[in-house]
A and B are shown apart, each in its own frame.
Chain A
Amino acid sequence: MATNDIKGGRTLISVFDRKRFSVKIGYIVCYLIAIGLAVSTFYPLLWVFFGALKNASEIFVVPPTFLPKTFLWENFAKAWALYEIPKVVLNTFYVFFGVIAVKLLVLSSAAYAISHLKVPFKKTLYLIFLATLILPFFAYIIPAYLVIHNLRLIDTYWALWLPAGADSFSLLLLKGFFDDIPKDLFEAARIDGASEIRVLRSIVLPISKPILAVLAIFAFMNVWRDFIWQQIILPSASNWTISVALYWHSLNQQGATKPYNIQLAAMLLGTIPPMIVFLFFQKYLIGGITFSGIKG
């Protein structure tokens, strides 16, 4: 891992700088900040992990214990079965991949058109796209549900996939990225007779990998975070995602009769798969993403 880190080249502080005392201090401060942040993010997870191993009443013991007195590994097995972890995690990934596919298809072509093609009333259209950012989803959840219902998409993943194509934040990022791609890069291809679809597919998208990775992360976060809409759209438990399952078993009055240690175990089990995926994707997230602010 360490070798991987050095290849990043120079940054703000140069090798020469680091010989100076005050800079050394600053460098140490950077480390302290990083360590502080790491502790703040890992510690609660450790707490969840140990909480999951405790016996149900130990979680509330005063003064609280950090290390469990008992190691009830079977809590994980119970949570695994009760929350149907394999099924809901697979469902969640299924939702996620569909969401990514739709976003890629719909938003990249739209962003490309806005950025590099002739479109009538381009600016106005773009602003109308962006305007959806300022209306909270809950304000129009009923009409949104009616649309899904009338399209007969209730209890199908299409109800999550298709609306994912209307994502102005991603559109904004993509368009900003596309704007910065030098025009001559695809002019040459156009002269060679490549169609626009081809230009988009074999020139624009490959160099956009970093921004696409960012979109993927945001999409991932949305799929993992949203539960209110998913819960309404997916009534059948066989379709539930991890969010809906956690909601049902932990917060819903009818379902929430699960001991806290089981709940904590399920929470952890729901976090591990994305963690693995992230470790995997790490290398795509390093590298030159640039995008500019809002233009116009």
Chain B
Amino acid sequence: MNLRLAALAVRRVAPWWVALALALVGVLAASSAASSLPAASALARQGVWSVLALLATLTFVPRAAGLAARFSSLEFGWVGAQPLSRARWFATCLAGSLAAALAVCALAATLAESAARFDGASLREVGLAAVPERGVLDGRESVRWSVDAEAGETLRVELSCVNIEPTAEVEWRARRGGEQRRVRATISRPQALELAIPAGVGPVELELERTSGGALVVLSGERLQRLAPCGSSRSASLALACHALLAWSALMALALGLAPWIGTRLAGALALVVPLAAWLAGDEFAVDVSPTGALVRALEVAGRGLVPALPSLAEVACAAACSAVGGVLFVRGLGRERGREREGA
């Protein structure tokens, strides 16, 4: 790692005026959303992180492309003659770009946590489980399914109702061994039910039943969240920072790799559009695995007052694969510069 080259990368990806603009926008977002109520605190945290993550993505990714494009064209006269290997050159540029991203994470975490003044205990998402395909409760029969979960965890399911009649009563039961837990609720709008897991080992049998009322109850979430107790809701910012760094490392690596081939603008646009398309496609696997999809999901989770799960192995592997692809493209792109058709001799 060459620190001076990394510093040049930081300087080019996040020049002082970009850093200042991000700080100002972040301060404005934090001051307008500050609250000490639990739900409002979660929304404040989500708001500050969303604004800064979006702005940093839209700024840093094209600027990372510009960094690689400059090295491979205007400045190739000094870059190409250096003895540093091109793979190390890429790694240093990516590290410099990520250092800028890390600074934004620190800024976002500081501002988000200053705006979210509630710092009580919370629940951390530790995993997801399937929900039954038949997700509508019409009162004729209950919905049953089973999941694997640890004792001490809480399950969370999202329900909504179709208002033929204004409300419906539901009961959600969890059974393991001889022990059973249940929770009852009146559903009149989209809301979540949480149920503590009974002690014991083995799969947990779950049953969801509409006990009264005329409204149809719908399982609106695509999956069941497994939650574990967490000392402070402030750890949400740490999880968000991890997701953001992974997403930025994948996007900036792709931008660095594409720029020597297709130029700054196209590379920046392509690096932004590809994950966006994967996310818009709505495919569950793509959202889970792609670092940008996982970041958006983590922001949603944080907005509900929960602490998002740390990045999964699949997400880390996807970011590493994107970085590797970007690295190969960058190395070959700089090598290709030597064979480029050049005007004049």
Do A and B form a real pair? no
Binding site for B on A (CB under 8 A): none
